[in-house]
Amino acid sequence: MAGTTALGIVSLPLAGFLFSGLLRNKLPKNIIGAVSSLSILGSFILAGTLLFNMPQNESKSFIINYFDWIVTDNFRISFSLQIDPLSELMVLIITGIGFLIHVYSIGYMHEDEGFGKFFSYLNLFVFFMLLLVMGGNLLVTFIGWEGVGLCSFLLIGFWYKNPAYNAAARKAFVMNRIGDLGLLTGMFLILYTFGTLNYNDFLGKIDADTNAILVTAIAICLFIGAVGKSAQLPLYTWLPDAMAGPTPVSALIHAATMVTAGVYLCSRCHVLFDNSVFAQNLVTYIGIATSLLAGIIGLKQSDIKKVLAYSTVSQLGLMFVAVGTGAYGVAMFHITTHAFFKALLFLTSGSVIHGMQGEQNMLKMGGLRKLMPVTWLFMLIGSLAIAGIPPFAGFFSKDQILAAAFAKSPVLFGLAFVASMITTFYMFRLMFLTFANNFRGDEHTKEHVHESPMVMLLPLGVLAVLSIIGGFLSVPEILGGQNKFIAFISPVVGVLPHHEISHSIEMMMMAAAVGGALLFIGLAFYVYRVTKMVPTDNVNELNPISKLAYNKFYIDELYDAIIVKPIKVASYAFYEFVEKYVIDFVVNTVGKLALFVGAAIRLLQTGNVSFYLFAMVISIMVFLVLQGFVFN
């Protein structure tokens, strides 16, 4: 029963993909959009029914093997799906938010000529993403992993006529490939060490006695894969560029679901990290460094989507901090709330861009509150949620990350605190620049600014409600809650490490976080609302530090100089000398030789029967002589 349901969840989006992909030019847009959305809704409902039929065994999981896929003497890999609280949670997020974003896209993409193509890609993405999270072994996950990478590539470069967008798509793909290499290496190591890729089998075999170096190596390899997919240092630069894709794509793929796959993978394989202190520390440091760096860059960006992109990178960094401190449940919780409010933020920004006729530069906005009141309200909710103001969703999850960080070290807590304050500041900088004061664009644009249609606002409303109440899924004990959410997935990701923090300190931390957030909101209010300051786009007027942040710390340029350029030079050299004069020569000579030999032997085929008989007799004689005198 559950096996069929699971298969249904996965195959509905695939069916939607085939439907909209094959019939995209034949059917009207509305039908394509409706069918695609309904296929996702169907998956969501199926996943919902599964929620009430969760497996009741000890590990709360079951695995359905559909068929044997690769069978060798040494190992056997089947196509299997796994249902447990972790995958169930991810499925609900993917299909739920995926459905809302599909509905939103019907409005957002309505004028686009690639409407059907867009929906088929989107459905395909959901299919692969579901494979990724439901895979019962690493190989199935890997198929999903590669598949979402492909869909991400296709959707970033969706408007393929713009060369810059294509470059962004390529960049995302290459960066992801680097990570994939790590993941693949990890998979080979696991297969080599444990002889299986089934999560439950190899994770069950790891304990304190397992070779520590090997465990660390595997954990780091998987983490490299996660770094690529989840845009962490040093492979994060693709995500801001990925904003080239349509905004619903940014919301679904590059905020709510795909980029969290790395966090999901680490949580799924948490036993590896639990058994390797080094790997845990590495994850923590990379997470916090990414969070800070991305936050600082985000402070100076003027493109509304770029700000949100850096904010995503920064939030993902915080999730990895939670992973590194062993609080996997908290990381998953933050994925959930982040999916709500970041999807909301992206979609509202999409609504703004839609209203502004495609304009993304905040410096040319302003005063939109009166023109787009509903969008303003929803974005405010999203911003409050990400800033961690109670009772919005972000408050609960972020607070628990901070607590987990504090349990590890006060310094870490400090850094995470700073990162979250930066978040608050740039989010409200974005709010005020976009919505407050007077309109800064030209009159022509202003006339056309309009509130988005109902089909776009409805999903926004649902997401806004979720951003408000989402946090109550897991109210910490200290506030009288029961941490239900974390209890739900703890059978898979393990219980939270026991905090040695007294309630009073925790309360103080909470107060500090909220107070700090309010303080920075006030600061943003003062700078961008009261003094009506508008940041400049002119690089020369910036002070050196701002300039550094504005230029994203020249990380792209650095990569270009130390990696891309040398490779280009080397490949040029190889092409010009090795390829042309060595390889070509050898290959051509061998080819010519083969043809020459063929031409020579061909001459034996004279067509003369006497000669054939003669040749046969001679060969028989030779064989007889060889048989009689040489071989014996």
Partner 1 sequence: MSAIITLSVLGILVLYLGIFNFKKVLLPVILLGLTVAFVLLATNTGNVLAADMHMLVFDAPARAFGCLLILITAGVFCLTPGNMEYATKFRQDVFGLMIFSLIGGIMMISYGNLITLFLGIETLSIPLYVMVGSKRSDLKSNEAAMKYFLLGAFATGFLLLGIALIYGATGSFDFRVIAEQCLTLQGNVSSWFEIGVLLLLIGLSFKVSAAPFHFWAPDVYDGAPTIVTTYMSTVVKIAGFGALVRFTRGGFPDMHVFGQFTFILAILTMTIGNFVATQQKSIKRMLAYSSIAHAGYMLIAIHCSTNASLVNIFIYAFAYSLASLVMFGVFMAIADKYELADIDSFNGLSKKNPLVAICAAIALLSMAGIPITAGFFGKYYIFASAIDSNYFLIVIIAMLNSLVSLYYYLKLIIAMFFKEGSNDVSEKIPALHYFVIFGCTALNILIGLYPNNLMMLF
Binding site residues, partner 1, CB under 8 A:
591, 594-595, 597-599, 601-602, 604-605, 607, 609, 611-613, 615-616, 619-620, 623-624, 626-628, 630-631
Query: Which of 511/624 has CB closer to partner 1?
Result: 624
Task: Find out whether 327 and 496 touch, Cβ atoms under 8 Å.
Answer: yes
Q: Secondary structure of the chain: what % helix, strand, coil (to 5)?
A: 75, 5, 20
Query: Which of 511/626 has CB closer to partner 1?
Result: 626
Cα→Cα distances 332→69, 250, 336, 488, 539, Å: 31, 20, 6, 11, 39
Burial degree of 310 (CB within 10 A; 0-12, 13-18, 19+): buried
Query: Which of 508/626 has CB closer to partner 1?
Result: 626
Provide the CB-side half-sphere exposure for 592 (13 A, CA): 6
Neighbours of 349 (CB within 10 A): 26
Rounded least distance, CB 75 to partner 1, Å: 17
Helix axes 277-299, 304-324, angle to 10 degrees: 160
Rounded least distance, CB 615 to partner 1, Å: 6
> What single-letter amino acid sits at 291?
S
Query: Which of 454/609 has CB closer to partner 1?
Result: 609
Rounded least distance, CB 50 to partner 1, Å: 33
Rounded least distance, CB 598 to partner 1, Å: 4
Rounded least distance, CB 626 to partner 1, Å: 7
What would the two tokens of residue 494 be? 């393990």
Rounded least distance, CB 603 to partner 1, Å: 10
Task: Find out whether 129 and 141 touch, Cβ atoms under 8 Å.
Answer: no
> Is the alpha carbon torsion for 82, 88, 90, 96 positive or negative?
positive
Rounded least distance, CB 66 to partner 1, Å: 17
> Is the alpha carbon torsion for 22, 25, 30, 33 positive or negative?
positive
Query: Which of 574/611 has CB closer to partner 1?
Result: 611
Task: Find out whether 323 and 267 touch, Cβ atoms under 8 Å.
Answer: yes
607 φψ region: left (φ > 0), alpha (ψ -120 to 50), beta (else): left
Query: Which of 1/599 has CB closer to partner 1?
Result: 599
Rounded least distance, CB 627 to partner 1, Å: 5
Residue with tokens 């679901």: 257
Query: Which of 498/602 has CB closer to partner 1?
Result: 602
Query: Which of 208/630 has CB closer to partner 1?
Result: 630
Query: Which of 567/595 has CB closer to partner 1?
Result: 595
CA angle 52, 54, 58 (to 5 degrees): 145
Query: Which of 208/601 has CB closer to partner 1?
Result: 601
Rounded least distance, CB 599 to partner 1, Å: 5
Query: Which of 508/594 has CB closer to partner 1?
Result: 594
What would the two tokens of residue 219 be? 């954990």
Query: Which of 208/604 has CB closer to partner 1?
Result: 604
Q: Hey, is 593 helix, strand or coil?
A: helix
Rounded least distance, CB 3 to partner 1, Å: 24
**CA 238/CA 313 separation, integer angstroms:** 10
Looking at the DSSP bridge assignments, the partners of residue 68 are 78
Torsion (CA) 427, 431, 433, 435 in degrees, nearest 10: 170
Provide the CB-side half-sphere exposure for 624 (13 A, CA): 6
Query: Which of 52/631 has CB closer to partner 1?
Result: 631
Looking at the DSSP bridge assignments, the partners of residue 79 are 67
Rounded least distance, CB 177 to partner 1, Å: 24
**CA 83/CA 47 separation, integer angstroms:** 10
How many helices (H) and strands (E) in the chain?
28, 2
Rounded least distance, CB 71 to partner 1, Å: 9
Query: Of 136, 133, 147, 124, which is closest to residue 47 (Cα–Cα)?
Result: 133
Rounded least distance, CB 600 to partner 1, Å: 9
